[in-house]
Structures are given as structure tokens and as C-alpha cells.
Amino acid sequence: AVPATTVPAELDDVAFPVARACPFAEPAEYAWARERSPVRKVRVRGGEEAWWVSRLAEGRTVLADPRFSSDRRRDGFPLPGADKAVRERFRSQPPSMIGMDGEQHAAERRALIGEFTVKRLAALRPRVQEIVDGFIDDLLAAPDRSADLVRALALPVPSLVICELLGVPYADHDFFQNCTAKLVSRSTPDDERGRAVDDLRGYLSDLITRKEAEPGDDLFSRQLARRREQGELDRPGLVSMAFLLLAAGHETTANMISLGVVGLLSNPDQLAALRADPGRTPMAVEELLRYFAIVEAATARVATEDVEIGGVTVAAGEGIIVSGLSANRDPAAFPDPATLDIARGARHHLAFGYGPHQCLGQNLARLELQIVFDTLFRRVPTLRLAVPIDEVTFKPDAVIYGAAELPVTW
């Protein structure tokens, strides 16, 4: 195949990332691009062009290469669908770690890594189990044996867990969940998205002020103390960090919970195999992460110098998007990739990214997902969708894919 350095005529009218028509299949354009060349030019939503990386091997190469920057303030950084106002906003606020490079990023990550060690997470396990059991008690108390699983379980579990870890009052969950939902939906008008960012930043700034006066046993208080010891307190930087952790800490896992339930209920043989041997849950979680690849455009970068990759030269200043969904459906890496197979045992997927920015919260997410699926299918063995699958509303337009609501019964 000849690598294209301009958008091929076949893709002229297609904007990437392409909206998913259903939760189970990748857009047909992805396989088309993957078969022809692993790195090719596409049109990104909003009109600009960027390189599209569709295979796993090249995806990992890009994400591990420090010549590709995560700094959203740089010209050429692909921000699908973002207008000028959104770009300006990125420039006017200090980046969180997801938008930093090199030593600055490494230092920020070092400051937080101790909060997510295996030991820390093992200590959290009993509390996560208690939280999941509490919400399932409430679910089972529904007099008509039906509920929206997003509202009843998928959103509250990771929200309460991250609130306790960070030191955010859970009573404020409606507020921060709504702000985050507006932020990740591409159909939110830009001014409204801007307001959601300002509101959430304002809220977190006030919260940090309160923690300065009255520290608690939580991540925000520990970060405050740590930064104080090191000298000057960078308040806007701390707010950016808090923003990333709160938003990434609940919205992502919530979508994986609801999609995981959809995936297992739609593949009864897989669910039966899981029920027969709950020891398989960690593998099932890994496969569901691969299969749904809910985060797509976050693994975008911009080249800081000319880079040869996949048979093409990405020029300095050009944007590049590694598609987690396309990479996770790469038949060269995952045989029969469109099949959900909980026995696959493949951990080299890109659901959490790869390289220096690989998801900081991945083991927390795994812990929550394992406990939720184990507990839900054990305690609610007759769980089923309350409507046909094609009546479930998904979020084809969101930066993080998921179900908008999930009517279930038992």
C-alpha cells in the first residue's frame, strides 16, 4: 500500500474520529485505513488534517516517542471539534499532567504515583467492596425490579470512590458529574463547555482553600502539604491536577461499567463462563477494556520535529492521533478482534494508552471494574436489559464513549 500524505478521496467526507454506529463494531473506515497504511492523513472533526495511527505496533511506537508532544497549547495539536475559544482556553490555563512533556511531566507524575501503588490499592479493596454492595442493596430495593444502571451503579460507584480518595464531598456529585458530562460531549456548545470548565475549576479552587485551613486524610490535602514543603504553592497548577483526577476518575470507569454490563449480557456464553469461574474476572475486565476502547482522541500528540514512522514522515508541527479503538481491533495483534473473548488474556491493548502518559488510575479502574462485575452478577443473577439493545442510548458523540442510560430489570 502506498502511504497517503493527503487525505484520500475515499475519506474526503469522513471526519475522524468517526462516531460509532453501535457499541460492538468499530467504524468501517478504521479497518479500511488499517488495511492500507498504519499511519495516514485524515480530516479531523472541525476541518483540520492530522495523521491517523490505526495499528497497535505503530500506536505504541508513537506514544513512547518523546518527539511527540502532549502539550495541547502547541499549534497543530489535534483537538477534534474544538473551535478557537476551546484552544484559547487550553492556552490560558496551566496544563495538567496529561498535557505536559518531559521532565515537567515526570516530576508531576512522581508526586502522585505513591497514591496509586499496589499496596495503596489493596488497602482500598474492602471499602470499594462496601461501596459496591451499598449501591446494589439500593438497586435491589427498587419495588418494580427495574432501574437505570448508569444512575444506580455505574456513575455512583467510581464517583464515591474517587471522592473519598481525593477528599471531595460526595454530596456535590450532581454538580461535578454534570460539569464533566458537558465537557466530554462534543455536542455541548463551546460557551457552555467553557462555563462547565470555569465552574468546576472555581469549585475545586474553593475546596483547596478549605483544605489549606483544615487538612484531611486525603490526596488533595497531601498534595497541598507536599507542594508547600517544596516552596511556593502553585494554586492554578494544583487546580488543574485536581480537575484531571476528579473528571478522569469517575467518567471513564462509569462508562466501562455500563458498557461491560452490556457486553456481558449480550454475550451470554461469555457471561456463563465468567459465572462458572469468577477467577476469570481480571481477564474478562482486560478483554472488555480492549473491546470497547472508550477513550479515543485523548491519545493525540503533535510532532516537535520530523519523525519517520510507518513508512511516512510526520513533519514538525503536524498532529497525530493514535486510535485506541482501531489499535485494539488490529488483527495482527488480536486474532479475531471483533469477538469478545474473556479467555483471550491479552493485556497489550491501548485502552489505557502506552508510554509515559499511560493511565495513572488504571489499577484503580481495574479494581473497581472487577469488584462491580463480580458482585453484580453474583447478587443479581437474573439481571437483563429491560429494552432491546437497539433502544439503549449510547454516546456516539462523546470524547469518552459509553451508555447514556441503561434500563435493566431482574
β-bridge mates for residue 407, sequence order: 148
Q: Does 398 bind ligand HEM (CB under 6 A)?
A: no
Q: Does 97 bind ligand HEM (CB under 6 A)?
A: yes
User: CA-to-CA distance for 63 and 354, rounded, in angstroms?
Assistant: 6
H-helix or E-strand containing 408? strand 407-409
Rounded to the nearest whole angstrom, what is the least distance from the CB of residue 277 to ligand HEM in the complex?
Answer: 23
Rounded to the nearest whole angstrom, what is the least distance from the CB of residue 5 to ligand HEM in the complex?
Answer: 25
Q: Does 132 bind ligand HEM (CB under 6 A)?
A: no
Classify residue 18 by its DSSP letter. P
Q: Does 80 bind ligand HEM (CB under 6 A)?
A: no
Cell numbers placing 275? 459465572
Of 38, 102, 143, 8, the C-alpha closest to 356 is 102
* Binding pattern for the stretch 281-320 against ligand HEM, x by CB under 6 A and - elsewhere: -------------xx--xx---------------------
Cell numbers placing 242? 485536581
* Binding pattern for the stretch 17-46 against ligand HEM, x by CB under 6 A and - elsewhere: ------------------------------
Residue nearest to ligand HEM (CB): 361
* Binding pattern for the stretch 98-127 against ligand HEM, x by CB under 6 A and - elsewhere: x----------x------------------
β-bridge mates for residue 43, sequence order: 15, 49
User: For residue 322, what are the contacts with CB-CB under 8 A and spacing of at least 6?
Assistant: 53, 59, 62, 63, 299, 300, 301, 350
Output 107 or 338, the one with its CB closest to ligand HEM: 107
User: CA-to-CA distance for 90 and 385, rounded, in angstroms?
Assistant: 40
Q: Does 249 bind ligand HEM (CB under 6 A)?
A: yes
Q: Does 263 bind ligand HEM (CB under 6 A)?
A: no
User: For residue 144, what are the contacts with CB-CB under 8 A and spacing of at least 6?
Assistant: none
Q: Does 50 bind ligand HEM (CB under 6 A)?
A: no
Rounded to the nearest whole angstrom, what is the least distance from the CB of residue 201 to ligand HEM in the complex?
Answer: 16
Rounded to the nearest whole angstrom, what is the least distance from the CB of residue 151 to ligand HEM in the complex?
Answer: 19
Rounded to the nearest whole angstrom, what is the least distance from the CB of residue 396 to ligand HEM in the complex?
Answer: 17
Rounded to the nearest whole angstrom, what is the least distance from the CB of residue 54 to ligand HEM in the complex?
Answer: 16
Rounded to the nearest whole angstrom, what is the least distance from the CB of residue 19 to ligand HEM in the complex?
Answer: 18
Strands 49-53 and 319-322: parallel
Of 326, 383, 321, the C-alpha closest to 136 is 383
Contacts 24+ apart (CB under 8 A), 5-14: 5/41, 5/312, 6/41, 6/49, 7/41, 7/42, 7/43, 7/49, 8/40, 11/42, 11/43, 12/43, 14/42, 14/43
Q: Are 167 and 223 contacting, i.e. CB atoms less than 8 angstroms apart?
A: no
Output 29 or 101, the one with its CB closest to ligand HEM: 101
* Binding pattern for the stretch 341-380 against ligand HEM, x by CB under 6 A and - elsewhere: ----------xxx---x-xxx--xx---------------
List residues binding ligand HEM (CB under 6 A). 63, 70, 97-98, 109, 244-245, 248-249, 252-253, 256, 294-295, 298-299, 351-353, 357, 359-361, 364-365
